[in-house]
Amino acid sequence: MLQQFDERNRDIKVFIKDKLHHRDEAKVSVFDSSVQGGDAVWEGLRVYPEGVVCLDKHLTRLHESAKTLAFVDIPSKKAIKEAIQKTLDANGMNDEVHIRLTLTRGEKITSGMDPRVNQNGSCLIVLAEWKPLVYDNSSGIKVISTSQRRNAPQFLDSKIHHANLLNNILAKIQANVAGKDAGLMLDERGFVAELNGSNIFMVKEGVIYTPYAHACLPGITRGTVIELCKENNIPIEEADLTLSQLYNADGVFATGTMGELTPIIEIDGRAILDKNELQQKIRSLFKNNIKGYCEKLT
């Protein structure tokens, strides 16, 4: 599904480093590490009237990713929340908003890979847009398995939520060429990892399964679904899953901040049922509880 331009976003204000700019003037230096090498970390946030869903968990992951990459001058959670609030207030936003929160290593004194030439501190970017959920969750999506594999820890640890997304983008390109909504990525062993932009779950004989987080990002929404299952005595297991198991599942769905819970109705041309009672229960539990996971900024 191709996202469309929303006219409400034509004059939005974007927070960069320490101030707000009109979107047409919102820029980073050509010497910024995000431009030089994709050297940045990011989070996708969803805004509801009740607040930002799972905000503290997102900021914790941002901090941990930045620490792993040895960033210096990492802004505090308090400072980041203040920047988010300023951005939302400037745009009059409080619902149906997606925030792309990015922290780069900052501007370099000269181009190069060495982080020691980053001597100007990190750069925080808060890009808030009016945006509906990325998928139509009433009709579901069709996906195709891709040749592009998801990174394993020996190549690049998926626990780092970094901005170097080329392997995911290549998988999305394959899905686009095939006329499908998303690419289903395997790990280096051939087991299912995740979609190019979201986690995946499978329902089979009364049990919910999701891939181990070896090569996939252990997403925030993924964690929420696991938590809801445990709280409601629904069997949930992490496992190595094959494509054959997904083809023959009672139900399959994707999870992510930008899409919430999305039924997957086709994988590699195989139809997947979307009327599974347990899958419907999980979606209902999520819908009824998601606002309880929201956190006010002030």
Domains, the chain, in order of start with CATH, read 7-130 (3.30.470.10), 141-291 (3.20.10.10)
Q: What does pLDDT average to over the chain?
A: 96
- In the chain, what percentage of residues exceed pLDDT 90? 96
What one-letter code names the amino acid at 181? D
Question: In whole angstroms, what is the distance from residue 253 CA to residue 203 CA?
Answer: 9
Long-range contacts of 59-62 (CB under 8 A, 24+ apart): 61/161, 61/220, 62/101, 62/103, 62/161
Looking at residues 65-70, what average pLDDT do you find? 98
**Confidence category of residue 137, pLDDT binned at 50, 70, 90:** very high
Task: Using the predicted structure, report yes or no on whether residue 3 has a pLDDT greater than 80.
Answer: yes
Q: Where are the beta strands (DSSP E) in the chain?
A: 13-16, 19-22, 40-48, 51-53, 97-104, 123-130, 141-145, 182-186, 192-195, 199-204, 207-211, 236-239, 251-256, 260-267, 270-271, 294-295
**Interval 53-67: pLDDT, tens:** 999 999 999 999 999
Looking at residues 95-116, what average pLDDT do you find? 97
Task: Using the predicted structure, report yes or no on whether residue 247 has a pLDDT greater than 90.
Answer: yes
Instruction: Give the per-residue pLDDT at 1.
Output: 74
